[in-house]
Amino acid sequence: MARTRSIKPGFFDNELLGCLPPLTRLLFIGLWCQADREGRLEDRSRRLKKLILGYDDVTVEDVEKMLDALAENGFIIRYEAAGNTYIQVVNFVKHQNPHMKEKPSEIPPPPGFAPSQPRESTRQAPGRNREDTGPAPEEDKESPGEPPEPPQEPPEGEGDGEEAQEPEPKGEPKKTALERRFELFWGAYPKKKSKEAARKAFKRVAPDEDLFDRIMAAIGRARTSPEWLREGGRFIPYPATWLNGGAWDDEPFKGVQNNGTTEEHYGGRPGPGQSAPAPGGATRGFKRADTDG
């Protein structure tokens, strides 16, 4: 079932996303509407073509290529779990505000991608918890892409006990924005080693929203690179090492193989079956910007 989602101005200013064809960007927006409250959905190209690009002259193969492009640029993760294929929108929880009546996700997360903490609801009114956020998605008549207006403060004494805000347990301080970003980083990074060292490195970097989006997009690209996939992830650096080296700004280079084809990868090591690039080989960088969705 399609759901109402929000779109931010930053979507149109994202240079990395702007390099993709218009229909690929439209497909990306459509994925948000098909995803559940954790940003997950079934990876079914034929069905997605019908639901999102039904009036466009594209084939199922075209949709496959669009999804691959979104995955290669770190906007989504395509994965398999329990014999089924799924899609995870990487920054969905950060940018979207699902309605409280949306049921929990029934789709398992990608391997190594820990479920993230939902961001604070922009629909939450003073004196209410995030469960009291207005009508259910089926009754929401606002235009897709526009965040609904926050509900008004209820009169004193109105509402039942289930809607009353529960006091926060003592001894459990609310996480800061930096701590929440670290947990998202840790969930997305495939090598779960030396968490405390990674936490210290993350605090030293202290990424703002724009830099954090670049870091997450870089992880999304790197986790599908030959370097990180080689020998079961043996060459994935420890997260603290990756952060201390500012590796989100690393540029992939083109390795020329014996058959004349090229392959991009990270870190200076060729992928399986590739010959090492000749010294002075061509390199190609790309811009990174904040990611919406």
Q: How far apart are CA 58 and CA 64, in angstroms?
A: 10
CB atoms within 10 A of CB 198: 23
Hey, what are 277's tokens?
């690039």
Q: What value does the mean pLDDT take over residues 119-124?
A: 47
Which pTM was predicted?
Answer: 0.43
What residues have CB less than 8 Å from 227, skipping those under 6 apart? 235, 265, 266, 267, 269, 271
Amino acid at 227: E
pLDDT given at position 146: 40
The rounded Cα 278 to chain-centroid distance in angstroms is 35
Q: Please, how many CA atoms are within 13 Å of residue 125, restricted to the half-sphere of its CB?
A: 13
pLDDT given at position 121: 47
Hey, what are 14's tokens?
């994202």
Q: Give pLDDT tens digits for 45-101.
A: 999 999 999 999 999 999 999 999 999 998 999 999 988 999 999 988 888 888 888
In DSSP terms, which residues pair with 265 in a beta bridge?
253
Specify the higher pLDDT residue, 208 or 130. Answer: 208
Mean pLDDT of the chain: 74
pLDDT given at position 284: 43
Percentage of residues in the chain having pLDDT higher than 70: 65
Asked whether 76 and 88 are in contact (CB, 8 A), the reply is yes
Hey, what are 44's tokens?
């079914």
Least confident of 20-29, 30-39, 109-118, 151-160: 151-160
Closest CA to 153 of 120, 122, 124, 121: 124
pLDDT given at position 22: 93
DSSP string, 129-153: -TT--SS-GGG--SPTBSPPPPPPP
Q: What value does the mean pLDDT take over residues 185-208?
A: 90
What residues have CB less than 8 Å from 45, skipping those under 6 apart? 60, 63, 64, 67
- Long-range contacts for 175-180 (Cβ within 8 Å, ≥24 apart)? 175/117, 178/202, 178/203, 178/206, 180/117, 180/119
pLDDT given at position 176: 87
The rounded Cα 175 to chain-centroid distance in angstroms is 20
Q: Give pLDDT tens digits for 215-267.
A: 998 888 888 888 888 888 888 999 999 899 898 888 765 554 555 555 555 44
The SS3 assignment for 221 reads helix
